[in-house]
Amino acid sequence: MNEQLVTAIKELKEQKNAQILAHYYETADIQDIADEVGDSLYLAQKGRDSEAGIVLLAGVVFMAESVKILSPNKKVLVPDREASCSLVHGSPYAEYLSWRQEHPEAIAVTYINSSAEIKAISDVICTSSNAESIVASIPKERSILFGPDKNLGHYLAKKFSRPMLLWEGECEVHVMFSASELHRLRSAHPDAVVLAHPECNEGILQQADVVGSTSRLLKEVHTNPAKQFIVATEEGIFHQMRKMRPDVELIQSPVDDSCGCAHCPYMKLNTLEKIYDALRTEEPKIHLSQELLELASVSLNRMMDITDGKTVDWPESFVPPQL
Ligand code: 13P
Ligand code: SF4
């Protein structure tokens, strides 16, 4: 059945000149049919630069919205419109706007795991792979508001010894890793390299040998000669890790959850069947108003410019847009 579906998806993709981009947290079958697999930044860049008429993003909706904001003339499809993110749910527009208005002089740095509306009231976006260079580019005398992920914000504030006002949002998957259980696991595997995504709590990050984006953690597995890795991020990443290093033991960092798994329920809404249907019907597609596209593109393009090594200007103070 899967084989037939995979063939049908490939045919449809060819017929419609579509490109499939998938995140590392998707299931193995989805990663294997994708044209590109990557982290949030890579998928945004590939989507923006794609020459295909249709980009189907198998990930979560904010990732597809980012492609649409960077490249508004493209048709951007998602397998399931409900594939959201706890960071998006935890940052409602009206409350985020009030917080922003309380600190009009600050630079608002916003994690890409956010709605298009929040991006529209932000000064610059970051992903887990470029967050350090984004923060480093902000003039020292400016104060920083960081949201919606408090753990990534706290990690950056500590790294740069720079105070930041943090929004209280969190990833419901990464905060489930247990620091005490990780401590026990490390004692049992003293030679293992501990890898953690910066959305994890501080108790996990303090024990990690490498903290980074999904692509950074994969790079470590690829290049580090160690034979055991303890991994504190979503389990979908094991697929590429196993492909890269079939010779190593990969151990999931223990999770405080009844299923004991590090499973993003939003990423896992996507299936091959839904991908096939989305390509066939060209729905669900990302639609954002012209005004929202323009407003959100300012902060997202500022991130892209900094990432490309360009110098950028910063607004003196926040002027709320009419949304
Ligand atoms: P990356 O950009 O590191 O792939 O992270 C995306 C994400 O949603 C992590 O939970
Ligand atoms: Fe959002 Fe967490 Fe899922 Fe990433 S793993 S998409 S941050 S809920």
Q: Does residue 130's CB lie within 6 angstroms of at least one atom of ligand 1?
A: no
Number of Cβ within 10 Å of residue 84's Cβ equals 17
| CB-based contact 300:66 (threshold 8 Å) | yes
User: Ligand 2: which residue has its CA nearest to atom 1?
Assistant: 85
Q: What is the pLDDT of residue 1?
A: 61
Q: What is the pLDDT of residue 257?
A: 78
Measure the CA–CA gap between 179 and 133, rounded to whole angstroms. 28
Of 87, 88, 111, 113, best ligand 1 pocket probe by most atoms within 8 Å of the beta carbon: 113
Kindly list the averaged pLDDT for each block of 10 residues, start to end, along the chain of length 323.
Answer: 92 97 98 98 98 97 98 98 98 98 98 98 98 97 98 98 97 97 98 98 98 98 98 98 98 90 96 98 98 98 97 95 82
Measure the CA–CA gap between 182 and 188, rounded to whole angstroms. 10
Q: Does residue 235's CB lie within 6 angstroms of at least one atom of ligand 1?
A: no
Q: What is the pLDDT of residue 259?
A: 83
Measure the CA–CA gap between 310 and 68, rounded to whole angstroms. 22
Of 130, 201, 204, 213, best ligand 1 pocket probe by most atoms within 8 Å of the beta carbon: 213
Of 267, 268, 269, 270, best ligand 2 pocket probe by most atoms within 8 Å of the beta carbon: 267
Token pair, residue 125, equals: 């976006």
Distance 11 CA to ligand 2 centre (A): 31
Q: What is the pLDDT of residue 322?
A: 80
